[in-house]
Chains A and B, each alone.
Chain A
Amino acid sequence: MASEAPRPEDTKRVITEAYPSKAARKRAKQIVVNAPPDTEGFRPQILSNTRTTPGVITQRGCSYAGCKGVILGPVRDILTITHGPVGCGFYSWLTRRNQTRPPSEDAPNYMPYALMTDMQENDIVFGGEKKLRKAIREAYEIFRPKAIAIAATCPVGLIGDDIHAVARDMKEELGINVFAFSCEGYKGVSQSAGHHIANNGIFQHVVGTQDEPPEGRFRINLLGEYNIGGDAFEIERILERCGITLVSTFSGNASYDQFARAHMADLNAVMCHRSINYMAEMTEEKYGIPWIKVNFIGAEATAKSLRKIAQYFGVPELIDGVERVIAEEMPAVRAVIDEIRPRTGGKTAMLFVGGSRAHHYQELFREIGMRTVAAGYEFGHRDDYEGRKVLPFIKVDADSRNIEELDVEPDPEQYRPRKTADELEALRAQGLDFGEYEGLMADMEVGSLVIDDITHHETERLIELYRPDVFCAGIKEKYVIQKHGIPMKQLHNYDYHGPYAGFRGAIRFYREIDRMVNTRIWRHVTPPWAEKPQPEVLRQAS
């Protein structure tokens, strides 16, 4: 890091001044210097979930990527057919590093397959429904899945194919569950719209359709965990050790039956708030399952989350079990922290990624003594930054209005409040927050920079001004950062590494960051002669 870090206000000015005035005004509202909360507990307001300015190079993807890639991607036994031209389906094929473990050699696993209608000019001109129907039949013949999902791409929405009607017909014809997602890339302003569309669809078409309760006394769902690089496997290991039954994960290492039985859980634990908070809300409304925010990124965070879950169930056996597991797992974690901290302490990081990761990973850096000087989300909304208390104040604009909001009511048969109002109140009094999320700003230092939908231009200026010791973002940013001689960690996809969740994941992450900030090659970016331009005189033989 540069010896004198620039003042954040100056940074903000420097990075916005290159924009034409209209773009500059908008960007200024998306770049905030973090400040303490005001007397009512509100943080500085940030403009977010707003359109990306055309022409600025952005990190963002689209709604289809959020739906097919993020939410449906890790589900191994729902056969997803992309209805559209070849590209969208091709790019979402195996590129997110979602891992899965089917229970047996012959259990279904469609994740290595990319299915699509590969629409041709004729389908665009005359409509693609016929081809879609045929494709579904052909797919059914080959795979015999229990469910088929259809994901729409931009041109499909525009030519007006009724994919939902096709889904209904095919459901009838094949006798399996078939449903569709109108997740055309132009919907909303980022991937976030696609998460919403996908969750709504899964909620409507799958959740609550199977009623056998899984065995186990302490049953939870994990929401917003996608099993990148095996994260969910580590969380599953820990939960099992604690005696907690995982009914379903949305959607890491996921299966159709788990979704179908999700309403049989007694608590929803939410990891990535952005991608799935509405699923938690809807499950509570419809089935009576409360939700809490958890975080399994970082050893301390993991311990805290486990304690919260135990507190919720309030059974001594579980509370003791959790404490025992923490006590057993933590020494190994502390040993590595002690070893590594002298090499990482005082160093700085920047995180610009996703819709919760830019928050969660700060915890891991903190544990090894590193400070996050700037962070922001690729597709966050105000509540992800400022906390859910701003929800009533968020204005719904045209780009959000076209994402369906489901009207959810208590299910006449399946609604079962898990706790009485009094019990919930008592737990709240003990400090267990339900349905709460404080947002990223609450955890960041005062004076740090919070930037929404960062642009390439801003990234480069930030790098030049701060020269952080490590930068976290996605694949599109990776090599730009590294050309500057700064190590870059992909946090969407972990660079073929991981898992980073839970206790063992934390250890793996500490070691990885230790490696990254100390890798020798960065010291050799500048050639030796660049610093001594004068030719040296060779010693003469005497």
Chain B
Amino acid sequence: MLLRHTHKEIRDRSALTTNPAKTCQPVGALYAALGVHRCLPHSHGSQGCCAYHRSMLTRHTKEPVMAATSSFTEGASVFGGMANLTQAIENIFALYDPDVVAVHTTCLSEVIGDDIPQIVKSATDAGKIPEGKTVIHANTPSFVGSHITGFANMTKALVEYFAEPGTVPADRINVIPGFVEPADMAELKHLAAEMGVESLLFPDTSGVLDAPMTGRHEFYPEGGVRVEDLRTVGGSRATLALGAWASAPAAEALEKKAQVPFEVLDTPIGLLATDRFVDALRRVGKVEVTASVTRERGRLVDLLADMSQYFYGKKVALVGDPDPLIPLTEFCLTLDMKPVHVVTGTPGKRFEERVRGLLGEAGVEGNVAQASDMFHFHQLIKNEPVDLIIGNTYCKYIARDEGIPLVRHGFPVLDRVGHQFFPTVGYRGAMRLAEKILDAFLDRIDREPDEAAFELVL
């Protein structure tokens, strides 16, 4: 048993987190910043944080993840990080020539209380920021929220720094995708385009963190939202913010700054959440749903209906980030599965309410927890075993110990590939998710010991 010290008996813990189901803000901020074309993320603090964040994102995406750091030593911790950041800005523009440097803070610089805008202002006054280049920032203290909060904060910073109140109302719709994979971002653009809706996605890591191999490393790959486009998001007709945790703050900021109305939707994972996204595109974009999108939907429903016997009644345990977990829970219910444990590490009471609501409507009894950890998640499974776990790579220890199939989803996925390239949002994404769940169940059936019951056909 790998997790041999995890026992069934659940004791109260109020101070100790064991095997967290979340991580810290800057990694989310870094990921969001990479979704801007020619942007170099910069971590203001000791270099260790940046090394960890780059390593984790690299392992997850299997792609180069660039970011610079202020490389604090003890001196900076005492005297403040101004000298380090100023020097960093100078070196960054000389060496890497980005259009944007996106600074995020770390716990250390937050505790010191470094005032980033003030440091940037004095660097600007001293002529250290070349003409036409921008240094933006987000405060990302990790003693608040999680990596999702960091993603939300940097996305909000994009609005605060770049958006201008729109003078000409355009037909365009802003889409804020949330902390999803590059492939998911591409899929969201596909759906909008298919519907004939002009959309602007930000941040957008597609094309950046799924860059092709060409024999040359492009420091700034083709993808990412362009700065000139970000400047115009204030002129869009509306914003669709996907995921209340990761995307709503930026949409709210944009409404405040440029009066762009917004709707907060769930991340379009699964049939119903995708339906709501498509319907929102239709309503807000003032278009009809095209036959091609309806066909995509129809294929998904066809697959699910054909295979329903394998899903029906299966118990599932889910762990991950709040935005994807809500529609994932809903999707499981759509498939007649029973999500009996749903756990997120990110704090947020609304999460419990939403998930309980979904379970209640479906008449499923389940455990729901926020600001919790994987130790607790595992204990729940020990007390009520399940047929399937959906969660990130760290779940593999639980899956092995308990002999339960695992479908990897969320952040981070360190030991499998595909998540960068194949979406799990939209109808096509739902087909892939269903396929993965089905494979997990069918592989299990095929491994059953009774040879007489080993059969060729479904």
Contacts and interface: CB of A to CB of B under 8 A. Distances in A.
A134 B20 contact: no
Contact of B111 (A118, A159, A398): A159
A483 B217 contact: yes
A188 B73 contact: yes
Contacts of B383: none
Interface stretch (B165-173, B208-216, B436-444): B208-216
Given A23-B91, A154-B46, A398-B75, A110 B58 contact: no
B17 to A, nearest CB: 4
Given A61-B51, A475-B55, A485 B141 contact: no
A87 B23 contact: yes
Contact of A61 (B48, B75, B89, B144): B48
A302 interface: no
B24 A85 contact: yes
A105 B11 CA distance: 24
Nearest to A81: B16
B88 interface: yes
B74 A398 contact: yes
A95 interface: yes
Interface stretch (A138-146, A171-179, A349-357, A503-511): A138-146
Contacts of A120: 143-144
Nearest to A114: B19
A65 B48 contact: yes
Contacts of B24: 85-88, 90
B52 A65 contact: yes
A79 to B, nearest CB: 9
A525 B214 contact: yes
B382 interface: no
B77 A141 contact: no
B108 to A, nearest CB: 4
Interface string A110-125: 1011111111110110
Contact of B69 (A58, A64, A81, A139): A58
A134 B437 CA distance: 40
Interface stretch (A48-56, A324-332, A336-344): A48-56
A457 B96 contact: yes
B16 A115 contact: yes
B184 to A, nearest CB: 20
Contact of B95 (A18, A115, A135): A18
Interface stretch (B60-68, B335-343, B348-356, B402-410): B60-68
A91 interface: yes
A106 interface: yes
A54 B85 contact: yes
A85 B147 CA distance: 12
Contact of B20 (A19, A118, A142, A185): A118
B183 interface: no
Contacts of B107: 84-85, 87, 124, 153-155
B95 A55 contact: yes
A53 B20 contact: no
A328 to B, nearest CB: 35
Interface centre among B15, B24, B89, B92 (most CB of A within 10 A): B15
7 contacts: A18-B95, A85-B107, A86-B24, A87-B49, A90-B24, A186-B77, A525-B213
In the A-B complex, the 4 residue pairs with the smallest Cβ-Cβ separation, listed nearest first, are: A62-B48, A87-B24, A55-B88, A55-B91
